[in-house]
Amino acid sequence: MAAKEPSKLLNLKRLAFRWALEQRFRLAALEVKVPQLGARIDVAACRPEQPRKVRGRIVFKPGATAVFECKRSRADFLKDARSEEVIREQLRVLQQSRLELEESLRRNFPTLREGETLFPEYDMYRYLDAGCAPYAELVAEMNALTAQLHSRTKFAKLTRWNAANILYLVADPEVAFPQELPSGWGLLERRDGGLFMVVRAVWQDVPEVHRWNLMLRIGLSASASMEKRFEEGA
């Protein structure tokens, strides 16, 4: 019989699941199998768009997708992150510059806001669409450094596959620091029984076929979970 999942990790997954629902990602599931990745996604969610009529035909779109990777300890995170002290310090400095630039871009380019979430502070921004060369160069440098930290890990697989529009690490405080995050990932920390956003995820454009695939996998995982519950209750 398989060992029971540590309650701390399971609680993080449940919090991520609830957070996704609160942000109007109405389809969500835990332990989503994605064969292309050779791994399971801790929590995946989708916000299906309303069907639209185009030239007399009803068109369905998968909408925005989200992925949540949960880590119960710093050792667990560092094992996946393959962190190195020098790179972490470089990223810390670059992260501060990035935050300052993003604050300026939000003030000067309000149209960059996605505006699809329930709470404004959780909205995504398309910073690169502003055409700001210094910001693009800074992001490219951070991408190269974080690629070194997270090569050959689950984080790297999810990023390379273009798994979702937004990606979040979910953990307790001091498990991971902003400068250590994979490029584009956000950070949600467990505080007072809920999740607090420490770093906002950067919106990623994802091929529609990938979003349909993830949506299908969410449905399959949810069905498998219900089947298991029925068997346990039998």
In a domain? residue 2: no
- Angle at CA 183, nearest 5°, toward 61 and 199? 85
Q: Please state the separation of Cα 78 from the chain's center in Å.
A: 18
In a domain? residue 1: no
What does the pLDDT look like over 26-83, one tens digit per residue?
A: 899 999 988 777 778 999 999 888 777 777 788 777 889 999 999 989 888 877 665 5
| Strand 166-171 to 186-191 pairing | parallel
In a domain? residue 184: yes
What's the domain count of the chain?
Answer: 1
In a domain? residue 205: yes
In a domain? residue 234: no
Domain of residue 137, residue span: 7-228
Answer for the pair 197, 173: CB distance below 8 angstroms, yes or no.
Answer: no
In a domain? residue 95: yes
In a domain? residue 99: yes
What does the pLDDT look like over 86-138, one tens digit per residue?
A: 677 788 888 888 888 888 887 777 766 655 544 444 456 677 777 788 888 88
